[in-house]
Structure 1
Amino acid sequence: MFTCRFYLFCLVTILYICLCVGNSNIKKCVEAEKNALLKFKAKLIDKNDLLSSWKGQEDCCIWKGVTCDNSTGHVILLDLRPPNINLDIIPQLGGNIDSSLCELQNLISLDLSFNQLEGKIPQCIGSLVQLTYLDLDNNGLVGAIPHSLGNLSNLQILDLGNNEFLFANHLEWVSTLSNLTYLDLSYTNLSQVVDILSPLTKLHFVEYVELDFCELHQFNLKSTPLIKSFNSLLSFSLRGNYFSSLSWMFNVSKVITHLDLSSNSLQQSIPDGFKNMSSLECLLLSNNKLQGSIPKSFQSLCQLITLDLSYNKLSGQFSDYMQHLCSEGHDIINLKLSDNQLNGTLPYNIGQLSKLQSLSIHSNKFSGIINESHFSNLSNLRYLYVDKNPLSFNLSSNWIPPFQLSVLSASSCNLGPKFPLWLKHQWKLMLLQISNNGISNYFPEWFWDLTPGLAYLNVSHNKLSGALPKSIPSMKPRISEITWDFSFNNLSGPLPSFPPQITLLSVSNNMFSGSISSLCGSSYQNLAYLDLSNNSLSGRLLDYWGQFQNLQVLNLATNNFFGRIPDSFGTLQSIETIHLNNNNFTGEFPSLANCSNLKLMDFGDNNIEGAIPTWVGENLHQMIILRLRSNKFQGSIPKSLCNLSHVQVLDLSNNNIIGNIPQCLDHVTALSNTTFSREPISYETHGYIGFEDYNFGSFSDKAILAWKGENREYGKNLRFLTAIDLSCNQLNGQIPQSMTILIALASLNLSSNNLTGFIPNNIGHMEMLESLDLSKNYLSGTIPESLSNLSFLSYLQLSFNSLSGKIPSSTQLRTFDAYTYIGNPKLCGPPLSKDCPEDINNTYGNDVEGEDDDNGFISFGFYISIGLGFFIGFWGVCGTLILKTSWRYAYFQFFNNVCDWIYVQLLLFIARMKRRFQVQD
């Protein structure tokens, strides 16, 4: 849409210039208008002197960006759009738009786009009734769009897009802009607008409408047949809103050629109603939740050039999609179906799309074999994206493709096992992504003839072997940024000289050997990312690092480098990440005090000595990961480390550090605030392929951390980890109570030190703790009950201290085995086998009073005595009665007499009771 707008602006400009040149009576600018321009300039911020020609003593008609009517001297055009807007860094104007601009009453065209202007749009701009072109696009304007703009009845182009803090409560003022042909309100907040279509239907000449990212939900379709009102609408862009239905769109315009509803909330299947939109040339429905397959009404779209259905949930076989396209649809240039759930094989009739330039089907479930027949008629193919599909390429070694690709992206397919020979003829390639393709042989010699044009090369995660050439050819002049990734292969030999324009270089996880002296022969001024990790590189690092002034990421980990770390590291003012871990560096820490952008510093597993410098905490305020473990650092922990408010991982373990743990660690905001923003440590790469800016992907930083007793490497999840590891040092004193304020800390390891005193009672406040290791110290006292509150705790070590008392009886703490608590002789209770004294008393004392006192008399002889007494007593009586008949008779006679007496006494008692009750009656 910008192209159309720009052409219209050029047409207006040329028309007025031609009219003015034809007049020989050239007049200077009007004094009042000159003064108005100077007032306008006074409210601007012009850091780059873009308006240096605006001086009071000169004719304002010759000022930069100002055009006057030669016959009247009135200012008619004001164009302060910055130059070179396609560059990443452009000189721009800041400040506010002063109302003095409204004194230019003859202004026909006003362009202030692509600046950094702030504040509100002046209401008085609505008084510039001669305006036909108004462009305030890409600024920082705020507030409500003034309704006075509705007075500009001559306006043909109105662009207020890309001002994220503008809003409008209604659009009735738009309906009076009867000559409008182009309207862009993108990024304006229109969520409160009830009726959007009605005002737009009154714009009978409007051809282009852009309402991208305006927080729109659904249009009010009470009104009239829209198709009769929008009879001139060619392009309607509603990208990035919240529309859930597409059916309302079918009655908007019969002549519409461009429809963009990407990045909305469209659901269910694509409705079958495109018969009324047979003029469509471009249909963009990507980034939605569409399901099902292409409807049959797509057969009516015979003018279709671009179809983008990527990033949805579409299913079915690709052959069905080809059947539902117009049978005459050989003019399709951009076909995008990537990131769906499509399956089946790639149909051969894809070759019928003879004008196809771009085919994107990556991240689906396509399978089968691709051979020459699929490409036989695709002579115009330039962009091919087939990544992340289980596809196999079966192309003969002598096949010459009919196309010249600019982009081939085929990661996680199967191009191997040999290097694809047909690439030899693709000498226009600028992007080659063939990672994880099972390629196992050498780079062919002809491959290096392609590299001067490759802005992006990724051959990682294959099995490529052999050495790279000593010197790789320089890049073509049009290639300014280069990303090359050779990582995770079997490449060997010395490092070659790479092109000086290179921006990102990764050769990690190979078998390269020797020094890295080849990097010091050229000036790598563009190099921002250098990863040489996990190789067999060796030698001392030369002191030449000052040439890498744009370097942001440096990874030399897991090699055989030795000697002192060069002092020139301290000149890397752009550096954000340094990995020097797992080498043999010695000497003291070089000063990196000027590297204020450092976020990750890993010097672990070396032989660096001396004290931890205080400037780490005083200067490196962006630090997130500080890993100095397994070195020979001495002295105490500097209190300045408490100034690292962003630090999430602090690992000083396995050194010779002495003294107390600083009391001020609670000042670390990232560890004491659970809502702290945790940004990923990553580096994004991009570059131009032709005239388009491509995002080549992001590289997430990694670090090896001791977590729950094991060393693990973390990448994408590194941003969420919070840990302090001070283990294996000679720290003494108590654990500071202030550490319990670190409620966002997930891992704390203070083991193998000389810490004394108690475990802080309120340690249970550290609610996010998953891992706690306090083992091998001299801690005393009881285990705090609050430790039971740590519901996320899954790793605990309190062994080999001087803890005493009963282990708290919570379910949480008793899930750990006895090894968690061993080496504390005075601890008792489960899961230890040693019972606590109070538990023994409770078991026996509650059942029989005084039982413990009597237990001392019970012995084996006691039970023998009971047995003998029973035997003698029983047989002394019963045996006599059995043997002596007279005694037996007298014994039983006695019992009979007793029973008779009891019976008679019972009857007498009953009789007396009866008589007593009768007397009472």
Structure 2
Amino acid sequence: MFTCRFYLLCLVTILYISLCVGNSNIKKCVETEKNALLKFKAKLIDTNDSLSSWKGQKDCCIWEGVTCDNSTGHVTMLNLQPPNTIPQLGGNIDSSLCELQHLFSLVLSFNQLEGKIPDCIGSLVQLTYLYLDNNGLVGAIPHSLGNLSNLLGLDLSNNEFLFVNDLEWVSTLSNLSYLDLSYSNLSQVLDILSPLTKLPSLQHVKLDFCELHQFNLNSIPLINSSNSLLSFTVRGNYFTSLSWVFNVSKVCTHLDLSSNSLQQNIPDGFKNMTSLECLLLSNNKLQGSIPKSFQSLCQLETLDLSSNKLSGQFSDYMQHLCSEGYDIIDLKLSDNQLNGTLPYNIGQLSNLQSLSISSNKFSGIINESHFSNLSNLRYLYVDQNPLSFNFSSNWIPPFQLIDLSASSCNLGPNFPLWLKDQGKLIFLQISNNGISDYFPEWFWDLTSSLTYLNVSHNKLHGALPKSILSMEVGSSEIRWDFSFNNLSGQLPSFPPQLTLLSVSNNMETIGLLGQFQKLQVLNLATNNFSGRIPDSFDTLQSIETIHLNDNNFTGKFPPLTNCRKLKLIDFGDNNIEGTIPTWVGENLHQMIVLRLRSNKFQGSIPESLCNLSHVQVLDLSNNNITGNIPHCLYHITALSNTTLSREPISYELSGLISFRATSLPSFSDKAIFSWKGANREYEKNLRFFVAIDLSCNQLMGEIPQSITVLIALVSLNLSSNNLTGFIPKNIGHMKMLESLDLSKNHLSGTIPESLSNLSFLNYMRLSFNNLSGKIPSSTQLGTLDAYTYTGNPGLCGPPLLKDCPEDSINTHKNDVEGDDDDDDDGFISYGFYISIGLGFIIGFWGVCGTLVLKTSWRYAYFQFFNNICDPIYVQLSLFIARMKRRFQVQD
């Protein structure tokens, strides 16, 4: 779409240049229009001086991006789209631009323009192209744009903060061919289809990510299907139904409904859309099987049904192909629940270039018969399926793959020999395939083109060849992963273009490292590397993460003063000694994770670490660090700010994405941390892990009160030190704490009541200190076991079995006062008895006093009492006599 638009603009430009060359009577630009352009420039922010040619003494027709009519001198084209789409201009679009009444093309795309779209642009009635896309424009799209009846192309996409409540103004753009309002908010528009179908020349519509929930279904019967609309894209909205689609266009060739909320079976209505060449329904919740009606779509070149809930056997779909055969080029069915074997007749798709069936339930064997006719195949994705590859050792594929992704299948146990002839491979993903073999020598001939190589989680053994030293890889960005194998021997130097290298979890021994100018990620963890960490690491100026953990490195902390982009350092579980350098906090200001646990570091924690404002994980545990906990830790913003945006430590290689037929997932870095007493690995959730672990050192002094300012902390571990003093009384301010370990210190005093405020706390250890007093009671603390508090002789109360002294006193009082009902003991007091006495006195004299003073009342009372007693006495005597007779009792 963008390419077509670009070619059209180029054609118009060439036409005007031709007119300029052929006309000898060239006029300079109109003075009023020159002044208007200067006013427009004055409101722009031009940090790169891209408009340096815009000077008053020069003819504005030779200014950068300005084109004039040679016969009139009027400005007719203004194109300030930057080369390579790298933004150059900011600021606002000034209304002075509206003085250029002869403009027929206005292109300000891919800048950083802000503010509103001037309403007066609707007065530029000669405009045929208006492109303001990929800026930062805000506010309502002016309805005055409906006056631009000559418009052929209108693109306001990718501004994100534009909105419109009514699209009726669009219906007056009778010549409009291209419309793109993607990322504008159209959620309040009641009727979108009607205005669009009134445009007789409209061919391309893009309404991606416009917060559309559903079209007005009542208006659909009134809509005459468009006879011109070729492509209709509404990706990333909230549609749940497909019923309206079939009435939009009779000639549609490109339909994109991906990333919506479609959740029914795919309807049979597609059988009438016989002109479709591209159908994209990925990232929805579509169910059921692939419909038989798809056999009518004989023009289909691209079908993307990936990331849905489709089920059934793929072979059934292949039987529905039309008798003439598909010209399909790109078939994407990944991330569904399709099952069965891969049918042999897939070979009928002789034009197939890309096949993606990853993450389904396909099983069975794949052999050369499946691919014998697929000479055009370039991209093959079969990951995460229990498929077995069974090719003869001398088979030569008819295709030349660019991209093969076959992780978690079964290519082994031998290294796949058929890859020998795939000399154009750029992306190779064959991890977790049960390959138990050496790397064949011919394999390293392929690496001259490999941008991405992942052979991890196999059983590859032997040494990496020294031939890698002389390899020249053509790509500017390379990512190679040899981790989780049985490789041994010295680590050779790798190509200088390497951006990610992982040889973790092998049996490597250290060798020389090359001068990696672009290396971003280095993972040598869990090997047998020994010796000092090379000083050459300081030359890795692009490095962002280094994993050297779980090795036998010795010596001191290596100089990394030039590695100012470092975000993660993991030197844990080695034998590195000396002090933690002060320059770590002075130079490495991008640091997010600093993990130095289980080494032999000595000395105190340098206060310069408090300058690492982005650090969200600080793990210095299991060393010989002495001194006090720095009071300045509250300076670390990432630990004290809960609203801070936390992104995963991830990397995307743009050079890879450009050639892939499917998107390349970004690499997210990972690290291992102690969490609630156990080691856990964090990858995408690493950004949510905010922790300090200073346990198992020789730290002294008190826990600083300032530590309670670190309200973003999720985990705090200060156990197994020599800390003294009290637990900070405001520790309850640390509302995000889920894990707290202060055990095995010399802390004294009572447990702060504020701990009861930590509603997320589900793991706590205060054991083996000198704490005393009653354990605070709360719903959250009540879920913790007795081991949380053991080893503190002075503590009492639940969940410990030891009662507190005040509880024993209350129990003793209740026993002395003779109250046998334990539930009522707490209510018996001196006030209780006084109340009883006053009640008796008032009640007694309230009755008896009136009888003494009032003779008539006294007579009536005794008469009433006498009348009551006599019958009771008679009945009682009769009852006693009957009992005596029954039990034969003698008087």
Query: TM-score normalised by the shorter chain: which range applies?
Result: 0.7 to 0.9
2:255 corresponds to: 259
> 2: distance between equivalents of 1:795 and 1:97?
57
Q: Offset of 1:737 from its aligned partner?
A: 5.8
Mapped contact 2:628–2:700 kept (Cα < 8 A): no
Distance 1:329 1:92, change over 3 A: farther
2:106 corresponds to: 110
Mapped contact 1:339–1:361 kept (Cα < 8 A): yes
Deviations 1:535-577 (A, max 9, x none): 222333343344322221122222232223333x111122211
Paired residue secondary structure (2:468): coil
Work out which of the residue numbers 589, 602, 611 in structure 1 matches 2:595: 602
1:40 has 2:40 as partner? yes
2:719 corresponds to: 751
Aligned pairs for 1:255-404 (under 5 A) are: 255-404=251-400
> 2: distance between equivalents of 1:66 and 1:816?
73
Letter in 2 for 1:302: C
1:570 corresponds to: 561
Distance 1:250 1:452, change over 3 A: same
Q: Offset of 1:359 from its aligned partner?
A: 0.4
Distance 1:554 1:318, change over 3 A: same
Distance 1:63 1:628, change over 3 A: same
1:644 corresponds to: 636
Letter in 2 for 1:3: T
1:776 corresponds to: 744
2:674 corresponds to: 706
> 1: distance between equivalents of 2:59 and 2:296?
60
Work out which of the residue numbers 559, 565, 574 in structure 1 matches 2:551: 559
Paired residue secondary structure (2:625): strand
> 1: distance between equivalents of 2:126 and 2:463?
69
Paired residue secondary structure (1:273): helix
2:123 corresponds to: 127
Instruction: For structure 1, list consecutive stretches of 5 or more residues without a partner in the other structure.
Output: 648-667, 852-905, 911-921
Q: Offset of 1:625 from its aligned partner?
A: 1.4
Q: Offset of 1:692 from its aligned partner?
A: 5.5
Mapped contact 1:685–1:695 kept (Cα < 8 A): no
More displaced 10-residue stretch of structure 1: 775-784 or 233-242: 775-784
> 2: distance between equivalents of 1:38 and 1:790?
61
Paired residue secondary structure (1:480): coil
2:620 corresponds to: 628
> 1: distance between equivalents of 2:779 and 2:78?
76
Aligned pairs for 1:717-736 (under 5 A) are: 717-731=685-699, 735=703
Paired residue secondary structure (2:271): helix
1:58 has 2:58 as partner? yes
2:888 corresponds to: none
Letter in 2 for 1:7: Y
Work out which of the residue numbers 580, 584, 593 in structure 2 matches 1:589: 580
Mapped contact 1:48–1:91 kept (Cα < 8 A): no
Distance 1:482 1:279, change over 3 A: same
TM-score, normalised to structure 1's length? Answer: 0.84
More displaced 10-residue stretch of structure 1: 393-402 or 115-124: 115-124
2:90 corresponds to: 94
Aligned pairs for 1:360-509 (under 5 A) are: 360-472=356-468, 479-509=475-505
2:143 corresponds to: 147
Instruction: Give the number of aligned pairs.
Output: 822
> 2: distance between equivalents of 1:37 and 1:560?
67
More displaced 10-residue stretch of structure 1: 732-741 or 477-486: 732-741
Q: Offset of 1:488 from its aligned partner?
A: 1.0
Paired residue secondary structure (1:324): coil
Bigger Rg, structure 1 or 2: 1
Q: Offset of 1:471 from its aligned partner?
A: 3.5
Letter in 2 for 1:247: S
1:616 has 2:603 as partner? no
**Identical pairs, percent:** 74
Q: Offset of 1:715 from its aligned partner?
A: 3.2
> 2: distance between equivalents of 1:579 and 1:731?
22
Mapped contact 1:251–1:276 kept (Cα < 8 A): no
Mapped contact 2:616–2:690 kept (Cα < 8 A): no
Mapped contact 2:194–2:223 kept (Cα < 8 A): no
Letter in 1 for 2:10: C
1:246 corresponds to: 242
Distance 1:743 1:46, change over 3 A: closer
Paired residue secondary structure (1:536): coil
Distance 1:833 1:170, change over 3 A: closer
> 1: distance between equivalents of 2:771 and 2:606?
35
1:26 has 2:26 as partner? yes
Distance 1:443 1:214, change over 3 A: same
Mapped contact 1:281–1:305 kept (Cα < 8 A): yes
Letter in 2 for 1:134: L
2:180 corresponds to: 184
Letter in 1 for 2:506: N
Q: Offset of 1:167 from its aligned partner?
A: 1.0
Aligned pairs for 1:762-911 (under 5 A) are: 768-783=736-751, 793-805=761-773, 819-828=787-796, 846=814
1:682 has 2:682 as partner? no
Letter in 1 for 2:438: Y
Mapped contact 1:370–1:393 kept (Cα < 8 A): yes
Mapped contact 1:452–1:473 kept (Cα < 8 A): no
Distance 1:837 1:45, change over 3 A: closer
Aligned pairs for 1:217-256 (under 5 A) are: 217-223=213-219, 228=224, 230-256=226-252
Letter in 1 for 2:578: G
Paired residue secondary structure (2:513): helix
Letter in 2 for 1:575: L
Distance 1:469 1:288, change over 3 A: same
Superposed CA RMSD in Å reads: 3.0
> 1: distance between equivalents of 2:288 and 2:424?
37
> 1: distance between equivalents of 2:600 and 2:133?
57
> 2: distance between equivalents of 1:364 and 1:744?
40
> 2: distance between equivalents of 1:493 and 1:791?
52
Letter in 2 for 1:52: S
Letter in 2 for 1:603: L
Deviations 1:785-834 (A, max 9, x none): 66566565444433333344555677866765554444333445566565
Mapped contact 1:474–1:500 kept (Cα < 8 A): no
Q: Offset of 1:25 from its aligned partner?
A: 1.5
Work out which of the residue numbers 202, 208, 211 in structure 2 matches 1:212: 208
Mapped contact 2:133–2:159 kept (Cα < 8 A): yes
Mapped contact 2:569–2:593 kept (Cα < 8 A): yes
Distance 1:336 1:476, change over 3 A: farther
> 1: distance between equivalents of 2:94 and 2:197?
33
Q: Offset of 1:478 from its aligned partner?
A: 5.0
Q: Offset of 1:169 from its aligned partner?
A: 1.3
Distance 1:243 1:829, change over 3 A: closer
> 2: distance between equivalents of 1:482 and 1:499?
9
1:876 corresponds to: none
1:70 corresponds to: 70
Paired residue secondary structure (2:251): coil
1:518 corresponds to: 513
Distance 1:38 1:547, change over 3 A: farther
> 2: distance between equivalents of 1:445 and 1:22?
64
